[in-house]
Structures are given as C-alpha cells and as structure tokens.
Amino acid sequence: MKYSSSTSSGFSIIEVLIGIFVFSLWLVAVFALLTSALSVNDTNKNSIIASNLAREQIELYRNIRDNNYKKLKLWNLKNPDGVDYSTWSLFQPGEYYTLENNYNNWVIQVESISDPQSAGAGVVFSDTNIGYGRLCLDSDKRYMYCTGWWEKQKFARYIYITELSSWSYQVTSKVIWYKRWYHEYDIQTIVTDWRRI
C-alpha cells in the first residue's frame, strides 16, 4: 500500500500579515471618515447657532427702532422707557454695543462696550479671554450675556454701528467663537428711519 502525501491548503504567515495590513488600512480609513464627519457636524452646528444669534441682534435693533417710533416718534434712542432724559443716548456711529432681551420686564437692554478687538475678541482671541459679549445659557436654556452662575458658552456677540446718512445706519452683527481656532459669523443690514423716507 502506498501512502500519498497531500499538501495542506492553509494560509502562509505572509498572507496572514498582508490580510491584517489591508484590514487595518480599512479601519484607519473608516475612523478618519467618522472623525471628519463629527468635526463637520460640530462646525455646522456652531455656524447655525452663530447665524441665529447674529440675526437675533439685528431683530432686537429693529425692535428698538419700531418701539421708539411708537412711544417717542424718534427712531434710535437706547431707552425710551427711561425717566431721566439726560441718560438717553443715540446709537453712536463707530461704537460697539450688546443688545439683550430682559425677560423680567420685557425691555431690550443696550450696553456700549469698548472695541472687542482690544478686549480679547480679535486676533488674540482665545477660549479664556473671549472679551466682551460672552454668552451663557440661563436656567431656561436661553442665550444671555454672562452674569451670575450660568453655563458659559463658546460664543460672544456684539453689533457695530456705521452711519450712512442722518437717517440710516449700517448695523453689523457679529458672533465669534473659539473651537480649535478662531471663527466668526457676521451679517450686515441697513436700518433706516423708515417713517422719514
């Protein structure tokens, strides 16, 4: 009787190593794709929040104009409900302001701020020295300027006023944030003394 030696049909060590290498390349590609997708998702989310915060400021400015017409027949005073007439002041061209809804007494609070660029919100902007206009979430999850024990957010916002004529301003609403690097979103609109036109 003759015994035939049959060759075994297994994988060599080289074939196994090549298979592991190809599989690891596939895993790295999938991981990079997932990381990129999550990063793009986070960037898009922040951009949408920033655009809404910027638009809210423009609407607050327009509300001030319209309410002033209703109460005073003047269009760009900061505080038409004030008692001390000497404290009323116009939005001055070349100035920076923060606008915020006060939900306790339903008025819009206006604060003049110094140049946010010099306050740490420009080229030297970082997460720790965000400067003026830093936003927080209050207990009702509304964006407010940071006071008290609210949850600090990465966003800061302000408006900048440029005079075009005696009856029109260009209002630039800017939102800035720092997430890995500096980001900003701004919109511009022209606000006019529409009763005068």
Could you report the per-residue pLDDT of 71-109, keeping only the tens digit for each?
655 555 555 455 444 445 567 788 888 888 777 766 777
And the tokens for 191? 């606000």
- pTM recorded for the entire structure: 0.69
Domain assignments of the chain as residue spans, ordered by start = 13-192
Residue 81's pLDDT is: 55
The H-or-E segment that residue 113 falls in is strand 107-113
Side-chain-side CA neighbours of 136 within 13 Å: the count stands at 12
pLDDT at 3: 57
Q: Which two tokens stand for residue 98?
A: 């923060």
| DSSP-based three-state secondary structure for 121 | helix
pLDDT in tens, 30-59: 999 888 888 888 888 989 999 999 999 999
Q: How far apart are CA 71 and CA 80, in angstroms?
A: 7
Please report the pLDDT score of residue 140 as a whole number: 80
Distance separating alpha carbons of residues 65 and 171, to the nearest angstrom: 12
Q: What does the alpha-carbon distance between residue 128 and residue 125 come to, in Å, rounded to a whole number?
A: 8
DSSP 130-186: --TTEEEE-TTS-EEE--SS-EEEEEEEEEEEEEEETTEEEEEEEEEEEESEEEEEE
Query: Which stretch of 20-29, 68-77, 168-177, 183-192 has the lowest confidence by average pLDDT?
Result: 68-77
d(CA 85, CA 36): 56
Q: Please give the average per-residue pLDDT across 168-194, as a whole number.
A: 85
Q: In the numeric block, which tokens belong to residue 160?
A: 């900048």
